[in-house]
Chains A and B, each alone.
Chain A
Amino acid sequence: MGSNMAECHPVGFKWPMRAKAKGATLIHVDPRFTRTSAMCDVYVPMRAGTDIVFLGGLVNYILENKKYFLEYMINYTNAATLISADFKDTEDNDGFFSGYNAQTRTYDTSTWQYRRGPAPARVPDPAPGPAGATYKPADLATLIANRVPGQPLEDRTLQDPKTVFQILKRHYSRYTPEMVERVCGTPKDLFLRVAQTITERSGKEQTGAFVYAVGWTQHTTGVQLIRTAGMVQLLLGNMGRPGGGIMALRGHATIQGSTDIASLYHVHPGYLNTPSARRPHDTLRDYLLAETEPTSFWSNRPAYMISQLKAWFGGAATDQNDFGYDWLPKITGDHSHLPVFVEMSEGKIKGMILTGQNPATSLNSQFQRKAMQNLEWLVVLDFYETESAAFWKNVAGADPSKVKTEVWFMPAAHIAEKDGSMTQTARTIQWHDKAADPPGQARSDLYLWYHLGKRLKRRYASSTERRDLAIKNMTLDYDPDPSEVAEWKIKDEPSAFKIFREINGYNVQTGAVLNTFADLRADGTTASGSWIYTGMLQTVSGQLVNRTRMTPGKNDGWVSPNWGWAWPANRKQLYNRASADPDGNPWSDRKKYTYWDAAARTWKNDAGDGIDFAGTKAPGTAASPTGVGIAFHSGRDPFLLKTDGKGWLFAPGGLVDGPLPTHYEPWESPVKNLLYKQDRNPVTKVFDVPGNKYNEFAGTQFPHVITTYRLTEHHLSGTMTRWLPWLAELMPDLFVELPPELADEKGIKNGDYVTVTTERGATEARALVTRRLRPFRIDGKKVYQIGMPWHWGYMGIATGDVTNNISSFVADPNVSIHEGKAFTADVRKGRAR
């Protein structure tokens, strides 16, 4: 669901096919019948943007029919936890939760909190150090201990109406199979077949998995949507167990690595929040206190942050200058893609460097191309002249003098032309070696940033400006050893391995590589670029071992711990404590995974996976009310990164739009919300700027639900694939898939040119009339589902119009992801011009 795995992850799809050969049932829920649907046992049609109703319907089915895995649910989730008496659900509040501020369009989450017992006794906080050296490592333990809250209160009979269990039941009471049919357009019997199948196949003897991709993320309710699936899996006892869980299919070869090592503005590598001017992050001490969760594994955050600062600034970072924290720039708001381009359109951005990104074909692409005209300079590093590198050709037409931007196009080295590691979608890091020099002047992204950095360092070497200190003081010493580049003609390519080693981490004094993140310290004696990666390089018997190198042909079982190295600590199945019952025994022989060996007093996993738990913490260990970190959790709490060690059916924190997923219609929808008076997510990030007009909600001018998606034959905006002859001919032209019923109404024949329109603009495509798309019946009204791939642009061998001409700037409030999967449009026969 929310994915087209066979088309978009074709190699990984061999695993579901093998499971199918062994008797697994594959179910595909999607607005379109795709190549994935063709391979699955059951195809379930569903209107784009209604996943929360479908998944909420599953929650409802599980609760109403008592299909939950009771022992798992009571012990491993917060089902029994009591929530604040002031909490009001959307059922009481016309589709809002308690705490909504209509002025600021934000929620105050204080009424969503757990009810807790009394907090432990506190001592006075030690005073901070002087300005510029506020943090004193010796005081850390006391400070954190002072912040340990009271233990959450529970009702293990699950009767109290303020238990999470009862709140859940009430919240999803109207997400019935009938409602699923009305809102999603899914036939009731098909929905029930799915519900029956997943509940029958879950429990002690069997588990099931959900697999998703951007079909779930790219919505204004994307995060909540995914969370609903998490709840289903927690209720069914599928999390942390072999064959269970939720597989997030990431979309590019090492996008997991790119988020792990932070190409996102709001997190540092290892998912440490970026210091923000809007949060109490003024000093290092403030930051550490604000960010460190005293009662989860994140209590170690200071060690990770300090080690990172040591990695970045080396010897310049000491306990006398807050380890360089003050040199870090602080964010002042949302600096994700859409707001940045709004600022660009207002002339506030002078220059841009694009390495492997193509905004000229991104959302509301005309807006973005127009915004780019305000740049004074643009640098593009890519294999081919992308639409962004050539944006000026597109906007200026015949007269380039109309665009003042100076554009630098730099050819990029290809994957086989550079060393490095890749982190794939299951967190497994794999090293790969350079096989050939790039041709001519093509260079890697790493080369660009490294040599740019070196030049900037030289430029700022004698600067005293505060804003230059970070670059001035950063360590940038990755020149390769001669042996590393002996066989290549490019001798100044930075050493990826040295960076790799720094990310892994080392002891500052001895230089020895660290084997585990448990060795990281908050006192400046260790350095590590990203704590989650610590251990991918290890010292074993005095030898340096790269655990991410794969050993082909070596058969080490289905877990394959030697096939690359999964962060953290080579744990393939996260939270695998949950694969054993509260006493530490496997739930069943068939699903035996991690278990407690009472004689040896240690946890074991015969399949070879890492234990995702404190190795010698007995299952019967009581929770310590004053315990810091995971000591606060009992021996029965598998979810280490949560403050209570439990899986969150109800989310008291971390999300800005509600503790429970709630169905809101997509920002543009042809129908109103059948469940609540509040049609849409009240805290959606909207962009009320010229050039971004939204289609009228539930209007008639743009009556069709449109979804955008990918094909196997092309990748993203086609910057690589539409230039490759063998791929260009497989899918040469942009098309829009239309059900024949709609095509007949509009007089459109298969293959005709058609134009798809929204308030933002028009995209021209060829019509592919197919019954794989269908009209839906939404509450009795006929609503057409149409769809377009978005791989095309004006550069390349196979060119075409840009699908994103018609999409808009609108985003999920938690993570700023855009809503590309469900909006509205109209379609007419004929060309755009």
Chain B
Amino acid sequence: MTTKGMFVDTTLCTGCKACQVACKQWNELPMEDEAAVREHRAFTANSYDNTGHLSATNWRHVKFIEQFSPDRADVRWLMMSDSCKHCEQAGCLEVCPTGALYRTQFGSVDIHQDVCIGCRYCVGACPFGVIEYNGRTGRVNKCILCQDRMETGEGTACAKSCPTASLTYGNVSDLKAMAAARVKQLHAQGKTDAYIYGWDLGNQGVITQGPNKGQAVKDMQPVGGLNVFYLLLDQPGVYGLPTAPQLPQRNMNPSAGVALISAAVLGVTGLAAFRRRRMEAAQSGGGAA
């Protein structure tokens, strides 16, 4: 089965949040915090973003980044619809101790809610901060690329609701071609800021607006490639994305190795402690202070 995914073209995002609502509606997710809304504690004053981040009940989150110079000569408002990236090498899946997180026939990462024990290890493993623990159910949740819709031949609810086709669902191979063409088109129009975060399609550019104006950007392909990938117009950090995301397993062998060495040293130290003591005891002739 060909791998399915989504291409997120942030240049077409109007920040309407239809995707966020469609996701909640399709997956029957509750409000983040009803009490906070009723008691006026939910307003973040962070541009037009009042839900803040992905969570166990918020699987798609639109970010707003205002870039306005004080003299208003340089004006830009970046918008991006964030969700699970369904990484080719998924940290969450790799650390899951029960096999609850698994790779579907579509290449996406789904969760067996019947298996998850709520250990939250995956929450710490994701480099993007996507998967989250649901205190009410005792399990974890994230975007599952509308597995039930894909099984009936449909695409994702968010992509369907997007009015400007900023989100496109399809075969990742087709989406990569589409993305490459789009970056080319934008570069030809002078928007050299555009590059792909998720696959290295060979694009390079220069940021033309905002505080990072003049900086170089180029495509990047972290953790083997992201099946939900992005066309961005500024450094990843501006969008709250990591600049060098990696699998947590990068640390495992080195850490275990160093621990092994330490254990060996401790073993020797332990033995030496009993020996030296003995020698002290022998020297001082029995009975130490």
Contact = CB atoms under 8 A, between A and B. Distances in A.
Interface of A: 6-7, 10-11, 13-14, 17, 21, 33, 35-39, 43, 45, 711-713, 725-733, 735, 750-751, 766-772, 774, 797-800
Given A38-B15, A727-B21, A771 B163 contact: no
Contact of A33 (B31, B44, B51, B77): B77
Contacts of B25: 726
B14 A713 contact: no
Contact of B14 (A13, A729, A750, A769): A13
Q: How large is the interface on B (under 10, 10 to 19, 20 to 34, 35 or more residues)?
A: 35 or more
Given A729-B42, A772-B66, A17 B164 contact: yes
B17 A725 contact: no
Interface of B: 12, 14-18, 20-21, 24-25, 30-34, 36-38, 40, 42-45, 47-48, 50-51, 66, 68-70, 72, 75-79, 163-165, 185
A730 B64 CA distance: 13
A11 B21 CA distance: 15
B42 A771 contact: no
Contacts of B43: 732-733, 735, 751, 766
A731 B45 CA distance: 10
26 contacts: A6-B14, A6-B16, A7-B14, A7-B16, A10-B16, A10-B18, A14-B165, A35-B14, A35-B15, A35-B77, A35-B79, A38-B15, A39-B14, A45-B72, A712-B14, A726-B24, A729-B51, A730-B50, A732-B36, A732-B40, A751-B43, A770-B47, A771-B72, A771-B75, A797-B34, A797-B38
A770 B65 CA distance: 11
Contacts of A725: 30-31, 34
Nearest to B73: A187
Nearest to B25: A726
A733 B42 contact: yes
B77 A728 contact: no
Given A11-B163, A38-B79, A43-B75, A726 B16 contact: no
B30 to A, nearest CB: 7
A30 to B, nearest CB: 12
B16 A731 contact: no
B163 A14 contact: yes
A599 to B, nearest CB: 43
Contact of A712 (B17, B24, B75, B77): B17
Nearest to A753: B40
Contacts of B21: 726-727, 730
B15 A798 contact: no
A730 B17 contact: yes
- Greatest chain A CB density within 10 A among B12, B38, B76, B164 is at B164
Contacts of A728: 31, 37
A14 B37 contact: no
A10 B31 contact: no
B81 to A, nearest CB: 13
A732 B77 contact: no
B37 A712 contact: no
Contact of B45 (A711, A727, A750, A797): A750
A713 B43 CA distance: 14
Contacts of B14: 6-7, 10, 13, 35-36, 38-39, 712
Contacts of A732: 36-37, 40, 42-43, 50
Given A766-B43, A771-B70, A713 B37 contact: no
Contacts of A750: 45
Contacts of B77: 33, 35, 37-38, 772
Contacts of A14: 163-165
Nearest to B49: A730
The 9 closest A-B pairs by CB, nearest first: A751-B45, A771-B68, A733-B43, A38-B77, A732-B42, A6-B14, A10-B16, A725-B31, A11-B163
B70 to A, nearest CB: 7
Nearest to B30: A725
A730 B20 contact: yes
Nearest to A735: B43
A730 B45 contact: no
A17 B9 CA distance: 13
Given A17-B164, A730-B21, A35 B68 contact: no
A314 B50 CA distance: 56
Nearest to A800: B40
Given A38-B14, A732-B37, 9 more contacts: A33-B75, A35-B16, A35-B48, A37-B77, A726-B31, A729-B37, A731-B50, A751-B43, A797-B38
Contacts of B78: 38
Contacts of B37: 728-729, 732, 797-798
A766 B32 CA distance: 21
Nearest to B77: A38
A38 B17 contact: no
- Greatest chain A CB density within 10 A among B20, B25, B34, B50 is at B50
B31 to A, nearest CB: 4
A61 B226 CA distance: 51
A14 B68 CA distance: 25
A117 B18 CA distance: 60
Contacts of B16: 6-7, 10, 35, 712
B229 to A, nearest CB: 20
A727 B42 CA distance: 13
Nearest to B21: A726
B76 A772 contact: no
B31 A729 contact: yes
Given A45-B72, A730-B20, A732-B37, A767 B45 contact: yes
Contacts of B32: 729
Contact of A17 (B12, B15, B75): B12
B277 to A, nearest CB: 64
Contacts of B72: 45, 771, 774
A740 to B, nearest CB: 8
A729 B68 contact: no
Nearest to A41: B189
Contacts of B31: 725-726, 728-729
